[in-house]
Amino acid sequence: MPSKAYTLLRKAILTEQQVVCVYDGRPRELCPHIIGHNKSDEEVVLAWQFAGKSSGRLPQWRCLRLAEVSDISLRRGRWHEGGSHKSEQRCVSAIDLDINVHVRKRR
């Protein structure tokens, strides 16, 4: 059974809503793009973090382990695409939902 975080982030992808949450002790603002499981079978999401706090420069791609995500809320706002990938993503090995494949191609 998926966690509450997984369910909310999956909904955010399907409805193209922004996510506000806390990860690694920092408030984050992001748009999730791909959700599923990593090679260790942990729930993970690949997201474009466009605002909030970070140890690095923003905006940037983030791979979040959902067990470490808290205080999640969804909000309406401009959907942030992020920059192009120079290499294949390695965050999500077992993809459940990819906005570019499962959501946008249906339009």
pLDDT band at 86 (very low <50, low <70, confident <90, very high): low
Single-letter amino acid, residue 82: G
User: On the CB side of 46, how many CA atoms lie within 13 Å of its CA?
Assistant: 23
pLDDT score for 18: 98
pLDDT at residue 107 above 60?
Answer: no
pLDDT tens digits, one per residue of 13-65: 999 999 999 999 999 999 999 999 999 999 999 999 999 999 899 999 999 99
* Helix H or strand E encompassing 10: helix 4-15
For residue 38 the two structure tokens come to 């990593």
Detail the DSSP E strand segments found in the chain: 18-23, 26-37, 43-52, 60-65, 69-75, 94-98
pLDDT score for 83: 66
Kindly list the domain boundaries of the chain, sorted by start residue.
4-106
Q: What angle do CA 29, 35, 36 make, to 5 degrees?
A: 145
Average pLDDT, the chain: 92
